Amino acid sequence: MRILLATCLFFLALICSSMLIPAVPVFAQGLQQGQATFAQCPALSNLPDPSYIVLKGGDWLGGRGVDVFYNQPCRKKSSQTITPINTIQFQCVDLAARLYCQVGYRNNFRLNEAGTLLEHAWQLEDFARRTSRPQYDPSDKLSFYPNDGTATRPPAPGDLLVFKPSKMNNYDGHVAVVNRVAGDLLEYVQQNICSPEGQPVVTDTARIEVQLQGDRQLFRISEGGFAGEVKGWVHSERIKEQLIDQPRLLQVGDIQWNRDDAAVYVYLSPERTRAAARGASIGGAVADLLQSANALSFTDYYLAIQVTNQVGEWIRSDRRLNPASGVRSVDFTLKYTGRMIWVRPWGGPANGKWIPFVMPDLVYPPIMNFSPVTRG
């Protein structure tokens, strides 16, 4: 998978507010508020014919993806260059490049100051580490999380999975885009991976393992799918802010919600909080409301049911959350993965404080459509 990649220019301005930042300093707890502007991706030339599209951009990443192309037959090589980003048609990094171009990403994905282009997908790790240098604009920077059990940030929708070189990927490595995360599973979208039968493997899954160390969670990915073993994942704050986050507080039914790339933040009404305290199972109704509002675009409906029902159990059993102690309503983080759930009561002895709870077990939702998708 030879790669020639040069991305677009951009301008980004972000006005932040600490409105939703909690008293407890935890990862992804609370959202930045404001508006951002950025350069548009220039018109791309020499894209494959639309007949080669196997997954439309509007059908993944919450409707914010880019078209996925596969050659016919699947393993057929191409030497056609897509300009001005200089990627090769149908290659794996082309998918990542076009997605990044969509948010005006301007870095060149070059390995050194001399401008040497990446030759293999696994070199994305080297490039991501290079962007931490002072000469890079902060909004251009990428973070690389090695898949060795030390990562404190889980893979999130919009992140790039970087795969190790192996026979499964012709020893070039591979890159794919995380689409959804739910419990111990993630789904990713990719180009240029074929099944043993020669069919395009458009989506695939990997398993997330979580280890608790005190109040820290450590993440690693196992069982990477057809593409082989995951080397790590690349995170872009710009992808997160422009494609994933929904910082504005939205109303659906009697609850409110907003979202980032790690969780949906759910704000229960007083009536819903009291119902949970009385023993009502609130998970299904809350999940239905969130689903209807497209709040669950990056996770799973069944995960929402299980986490919400567990929060209901805590409302019943923990006096800090129970209306009998003066609590009026409760907010909680519907985390896509991990074992820590944060709950904030309004009223009562812990008024306005985010309280960490540990899920009894990792949530294993029955995700019927989180399985490899091939196209004949």
The letter for the amino acid at 211 is Q
Residues of the chain with pLDDT > 70: what percent? Answer: 80
Residue 9 reports pLDDT greater than 70: no
pLDDT at 32: 34
The letter for the amino acid at 198 is G
| Lowest mean pLDDT segment, chosen from 46-50, 59-63, 166-170, 364-368 | 364-368
Q: How confident is the model at residue 167 (pLDDT cuts 50, 70, 90)?
A: confident
Q: Distance between the two ends of the chain, CA-based, in angstroms?
A: 22
Residue 181 reports pLDDT greater than 60: yes
CA torsion 287→291→294→297, rounded to 10°?
Answer: 80
Q: How confident is the model at residue 3 (pLDDT cuts 50, 70, 90)?
A: very low
pLDDT at 147: 96
Average pLDDT on 178-207 reads: 94
pLDDT at 221: 96
Question: What is the Cα–Cα distance from 56 to 171, expressed in whole angstroms?
Answer: 28
Residue 33 reports pLDDT greater than 60: no
Query: What residues contact 25, with CB distance under 8 A and at least 6 apart?
Result: none
pTM listed for this prediction: 0.85
Question: What is the Cα–Cα distance from 138 to 206, expressed in whole angstroms?
Answer: 30
Residue 187: strand pairing partners: 180, 205
Residue 368 reports pLDDT greater than 60: no
Q: Is 105 or 181 the better-scoring residue by pLDDT?
A: 181
Helix %, strand %, coil % of the chain (to 5): 20, 30, 50
pLDDT tens-digit profile of 73-84?
A: 998 989 998 888
pLDDT tens-digit profile of 275-299?
A: 999 999 999 999 999 999 999 999 9
Question: What is the Cα–Cα distance from 239 to 333, expressed in whole angstroms?
Answer: 21
| Lowest mean pLDDT segment, chosen from 123-127, 160-164, 336-340 | 123-127
Residue 10 reports pLDDT greater than 60: no
Q: How many residues does the chain have?
A: 376
pLDDT tens-digit profile of 242-261?
A: 899 999 999 999 999 999 99
Average pLDDT on 34-42 reads: 56
pLDDT at 7: 35
